Each structure stands twice: as C-alpha cells, then as structure tokens.
Structure 1
Amino acid sequence: MTFAKTLVATSVLALAAASAQAKDTIRVAGNFATEHSSSLAMAKFEEELERLSGGEIDVNIFPAQQLGGAAENVQAVKIGAIEMMWVGTAYLTRTVPELEIIGLPFQFPDRETAFAIVDGPVGAALDAKLAGEGMTSMGYMELGFRQLTNSKHPVESVGDIAGLKIRLQPNETHLATFRALGANPVAMDVKELYSALEQGVIDGQENPFAIINVAGYAEVQKYISNTGHFFDFISVVSNKKWFDKLDADKQAMVREAMATAIAYQRELAAEQDAAGLAKLEDAGMTYSPVSPEFAQALRDATAGVAAETKARLDPELVELLDAETAKIGM
C-alpha cells in the first residue's frame, strides 16, 4: 500500500472512530416481559429516536430484567449507571413518596381519568419531585387496573381475602390497603414473584390481566377476580445529569420519540388488557367476577387508607389533586 493510500485509510478509520465517539448511547432498562405493551413501546422509542437523530443517538433496550430487578434499576438510574428505565411507579415511591398520591385505592373510574390527572398539573408537580431526586420524568405509560389472584380459593367477598398472603409492590399505600382488607401483604420485587408463587411461599399476587398473562402466573395461580383495586402507571425516567448534558436538539428528539412511544403503549395496553382475561381462563384459571355489592364492600373497607395517605403527603400536592379531580367531575 502506498503512503497516500495508507494516509487515506488511516484518516477514514480516525473519522469513523471520532463519529462513534460522538454518538450518544442510551441504555434503557425494564423489568417487563419482552411481549408486554411497554417493552414493545420502548422498541418503538428506539426506532423513532434513531430515525429522528439520523443515527446520532444509539438506543439499547434491555427488557425482562436483563439489567436487574425493578428496585435495582431505580438505583442504577439514580446514580447514572444506566441512562433510562421504565418501571412501575410504585417502585419509585420509596424515593419520592408523593407518587403515592396517584396510587390510592379505587381512585380512578377509568383509564381516561387516570391519564387526565398524570398528564396535567398533578403529573407536573410529581415530575418536579422526581427531578429533586436526580431523575427526569419522560412520561407515564399504563400499567392498568390491578386484579387479585391466589392459589387457595375463589375470592367473592372481603372475607375471602382475609388471611391470604399476597405479594405487593413496595408501596406503603398498597400495603395498607390490603391490611385493611384483612390480608397479609408482603412487599417483594417482581423478579422473585414467580418462584415465590410456585413454591407456595405466598398465596397470591395482584397485577393487571395483561401482566398476569405474559408473566405466566396462570401456571402457578388458580383463581382470579376483577377487583380493580388500583389503577397503576409505568414511569419512564432518565438520570437527570445525563439528560441535562444533552444539547437542546437531542433533548427535544428524546422527548418527541418518547411521546410517540407512550401514545402507542397506552393504546396497545388497553387492547392487551381486554384480551388478557380470556387468555387466562383459557389457560385454566377460575374467574370470579366482582359483584356491585362486593365492589362496594371493598371500597368501604379501604375508605380510610386514602385519607391516611393524604395526611402524610405534601398538603399543597393534596390540594392540587383535589382541585384537578373536581375539575373533571370525580
């Protein structure tokens, strides 16, 4: 090879290396199954952001606990070990307790009302709390209405819940709700849940129909009821220092791509939830629908939990929530 050709080859390699170094890389971790709506939405985020950035931003998605469980991902994003995650909002409540304000029992009558709250001033106030803990909120996906399963017997009354050892997310309001129903709630990371159910360490768990289906819990649970006791969200958050270092154009691209992904996820989540129960029955679970009388009894038994939660949170945030719910006629 001539000197000129060697010089050209060396220059091309140097430019390629410089280009690779100029790329921004985003590692995004999640604990949801690959086929869950949120994981599919993050794949869309990857596709959309790489398109918007012309390949200048490289996105690597790690679903299904590939980078650890939910609690581990929260800590990894906080310290900047990974750039971004999508996680059930309940896993953030021990870092930002104010998030419990959108996890009260029987709080939302439907998903439209739930999103009206988190997409408005209440969500903005919670985002500010997250920022104070070193995390930038990218928006809220749907986790959905949570339903109760167990391996012991059908649940058709509040009395049927009494004594059941139920796994819950690490959220104080959620735990208090099931104590009020007479259960023995246990906070447990999702990565431990299947084996705990399989081994009989716990009797049951609660999750949206779609999660129960894709996680394979029908293999280790027999009974299911549409209790709908909480409507739950998935928070998408990034490490704040990392996001703040991006230039304004790239920040805008990240937010635009995420807005597209979140809109897609919310639509897909509704579809997966609607189909989930039928799939669980096909898999052999026994379904006991919740009667209007049973639903009222659940509300009556947990009525004090919301008041207790509000009493220990920021009064200004509680006032804001009450004002916003009044606006939409709740």
Structure 2
Amino acid sequence: MTLFKTLLTTSAIALIAASAQAKDVIRVAGNFATEHSSSLAMVKFEEELERLSNGEIDVNIFPAQQLGGAAENVQAVKIGAIELMWVGTAYLTRTVPELEVIGLPFQFPNRETAFAVVDGPVGLALDEKMAAEGMTSMGYMELGFRQLTNNVRPIVNIEDTEGLKIRLQPNETHLSTFRALGANPVAMDVKELYSALEQGVIDGQENPFAIINVAGYAEVQKYVSNTGHFFDFISVVSNKKWFDGLDADTQAMVRDAMDTAIAYQRTLAAEQDAAGLGQLVEKGMTYTEVSGELAAALREKTSGVAADTKSRLDPELVTLLDAEIAKLGM
C-alpha cells in the first residue's frame, strides 16, 4: 500500500472511531465483495442486532476493503480501532499460528465435517489462543473448498502445477503445500490480487468458486480446476477488551445475532458455491475436472506438509484435533 493510501485508511478509521460511542455503535470491517455470502450475512447481523436491541445498538458495516485490506483489518481489531471484522482465517495465522491446524491440505472430506471440528472442542481451544492475543472469536463462516485457476495451462497432470506463480494467503501451511507441488507461491493481500493477475505479475490464484466469480477473476484468468486442496473458514472476530466491556445482556444479544448471521451464511455459501462454477464457465473460463488419479497424486505429494505443520504447533491441540478427527471417522 502507498503511503497516501495508508494515511487515507488510517484517517478513515480514526474518523469513524472519533464519532462512535463505545457501546452503542459497532463497526464491522471485511474485505469480501458486497454480494459475497459473508457480506450479506453481516447485513443480517446488523438487522438482527438492531432488532434485538430495539434500535439501541447501531451496526455499521464496511465490506469490500472500505477500511483497508485483510491484514490491516486484523491489526485494527487487535488495537481496538474497530470492534469487529470478518476475515479469511488464514490472515490470522501469523498472529495465532495454531489456526493452521484447521487449514491442512486435503483435511476435510466435506463442509459438514469441517464445521463439526470448528464448532466442537478444537474450536474452543482455538478461541482460547485468540483470546490470548486480544481477540474474541464469534464463530466461523464458510469460505469453502479452494480451487486453482491460472493463465498458463489446464491442470491435468501432477506436473502441470510446476513452475506456476500462484498467489496464496499469508499462511505458512498453504505456502508449503504449493511449494511441495512445485509451484512458486506468493503471499499477497487480496486487495492486490486482481491487478497482479491482470498485469501478469502472477500466473494464478486459488479461491472457492463463489469468490472467483464475485471477485471478477474470470476476467483475468483462463483455466479453472476443482482441486479442492483446502477447506477454508472465515473467522468473525472482535476486539476482546471491547467485548469484555459490554454488559452481559449486550454480549448475549451480539452473540445471538451473530449466531443467526453465521447459520444464514453457511447455507447461502453452499448455494453460491454450487452455482459458482457454472457461472465461471459461462463467463468464458475453461474448466478441467480433476481426475481420481490426479487427486491421489496431489494428496501424496503434499502428504508431508500436515506432519510438518503439526510438529510446529501446541502438542495438546494436535492431540485434540486427531481425537476429534478419529471420532468423526475421517
């Protein structure tokens, strides 16, 4: 970000902070497009909380990077410049590395299993890790299975990923996964992605079908495949000091309204994802379905990444994750 843009973003946050009253104005920032399921869910949160509070709480939603990119939103919530954010969980892993435990390659067979893990003991343990960093977890929405796009060639064989310069979120496990596939991964904030693809600075990116669609990447990418290499979450997070300072009734209203919004988003996300691939093909992208043989080769080539990631994390958390996965029959 240029110095001017940094100052502009900082000034915008400072301006709304100066005009906000601590307990009856809640500012919520996100980097997702306004039509994405998560942004629509935040509108649902706004409506529900204002209804529950009889209009005593005013929620202001700032989607589509209006208050900066994902990394900037994380820092703004940590320091209390804004109260709440919704952000791809990968953007929190450099602050809370333990979150990498739910971002391992080919970890979840379906979305139901993924949510069973984060809604259970593993999620509670991760909440404690976030609290230690000054953030309160409000729950997890669906970002979804991540799929690979690029401008060089269709992904048909395991060799086709080699040498591709692919944008990834700033998550060490994700970066290691694509290094294992022979690609050249580049950590980049989403606010820079479209222009980097348009200018040919990078060859491709990976995101769920719905995001590829609503972000307009079909305009700057040729090939798409259903690699499904990660299932990704959206974390809804508040500044802990702010949330702890709310009275018990207000905390309960915020939690109830967010629970409603998250349930709404998960349903809508599944619908948007199901429709997303067809919309990308209609917009001119070439779709190549991953064969059973290629899927097996991708898993085999990245099999060491999960073990390496687990070796860096809290052993108790890893043991808990393994126990939950065994319980779910994965």
Aligned mates of 2:130, 2:57 — CA distance in 1: 24
Aligned mates of 1:157, 1:24 — CA distance in 2: 55
Mapping of 1:95-174 within 5 angstroms? 95-174=95-174
Match in the other structure for 1:47: 47
RMSD: 0.9
Q: Is the 8 A contact 2:23 2:246 kept in 1?
A: no
Q: Provide Cα deviations, 1:286-330, integer angstroms capped at 9, x if missing partner.
A: 000000000000000000000000001000000000000111101
In structure 2, the CA distance between the partners of 1:22 and 1:223, relative to structure 1 (3 Å rule), is closer
Gapped regions of structure 1 (runs ≥ 5): 1-19
In structure 2, the CA distance between the partners of 1:302 and 1:51, relative to structure 1 (3 Å rule), is same
Describe the SS at the equivalent of 1:233. Answer: strand
Match in the other structure for 2:222: 222
Task: State the AA in 1 paired with 2:112.
Answer: E
Match in the other structure for 1:281: 281
Describe the SS at the equivalent of 1:26. Answer: strand
Aligned mates of 1:245, 1:21 — CA distance in 2: 13
Match in the other structure for 2:249: 249
Q: Is the 8 A contact 1:147 1:229 kept in 2?
A: yes
Aligned mates of 2:49, 2:297 — CA distance in 1: 47
Match in the other structure for 1:71: 71
Q: Provide Cα deviations, 1:149-185, integer angstroms capped at 9, x if missing partner.
A: 0001111111000000000000000000000000000
Match in the other structure for 1:327: 327
Mapping of 1:299-318 within 5 angstroms? 299-318=299-318
Report deviation, 1:56.
1.1
Match in the other structure for 1:295: 295
Aligned mates of 1:95, 1:316 — CA distance in 2: 19
Describe the SS at the equivalent of 2:25. Answer: strand
Q: Is the 8 A contact 1:150 1:221 kept in 2?
A: yes
Match in the other structure for 1:3: none
Aligned mates of 2:79, 2:201 — CA distance in 1: 33
Superposed structure 1 runs of 4+ greater than 4 Å apart:
20-23
Describe the SS at the equivalent of 1:50. Answer: helix
Aligned mates of 2:216, 2:129 — CA distance in 1: 35
Aligned mates of 2:53, 2:293 — CA distance in 1: 54
Task: State the AA in 2 paired with 1:24.
Answer: D
Report deviation, 1:265.
0.1
Mapping of 1:5-20 within 5 angstroms? none
Describe the SS at the equivalent of 2:94. Answer: coil
Report deviation, 1:23.
5.7
Aligned mates of 2:98, 2:23 — CA distance in 1: 36
Match in the other structure for 1:7: none
Aligned mates of 1:156, 1:254 — CA distance in 2: 47
* Structure 2 residue 178 is matched with structure 1 residue 178: yes
In structure 2, the CA distance between the partners of 1:57 and 1:271, relative to structure 1 (3 Å rule), is same
Report deviation, 1:22.
8.4
In structure 2, the CA distance between the partners of 1:239 and 1:219, relative to structure 1 (3 Å rule), is same
Describe the SS at the equivalent of 2:205. Answer: strand
Aligned mates of 1:69, 1:280 — CA distance in 2: 25
In structure 2, the CA distance between the partners of 1:311 and 1:246, relative to structure 1 (3 Å rule), is same
In structure 2, the CA distance between the partners of 1:68 and 1:21, relative to structure 1 (3 Å rule), is closer
Mapping of 1:18-97 within 5 angstroms? 24-97=24-97
Task: State the AA in 2 paired with 1:130.
Answer: M
Q: Is the 8 A contact 1:25 1:58 kept in 2?
A: yes
Match in the other structure for 2:258: 258
Report deviation, 1:69.
0.1
Task: State the AA in 1 paired with 2:290.
Answer: V
Describe the SS at the equivalent of 1:71. Answer: helix
Mapping of 1:179-218 within 5 angstroms? 179-218=179-218
Report deviation, 1:221.
0.2
Aligned mates of 1:80, 1:298 — CA distance in 2: 41
Mapping of 1:226-245 within 5 angstroms? 226-245=226-245
Q: Is the 8 A contact 1:23 1:56 kept in 2?
A: no
- Structure number with greater Rg is 1
Per the normalisation by structure 2, the TM-score is: 0.93
Task: State the AA in 1 paired with 2:149.
Answer: T
Q: Is the 8 A contact 1:23 1:58 kept in 2?
A: no
Describe the SS at the equivalent of 1:228. Answer: coil
Q: Is the 8 A contact 1:22 1:56 kept in 2?
A: no
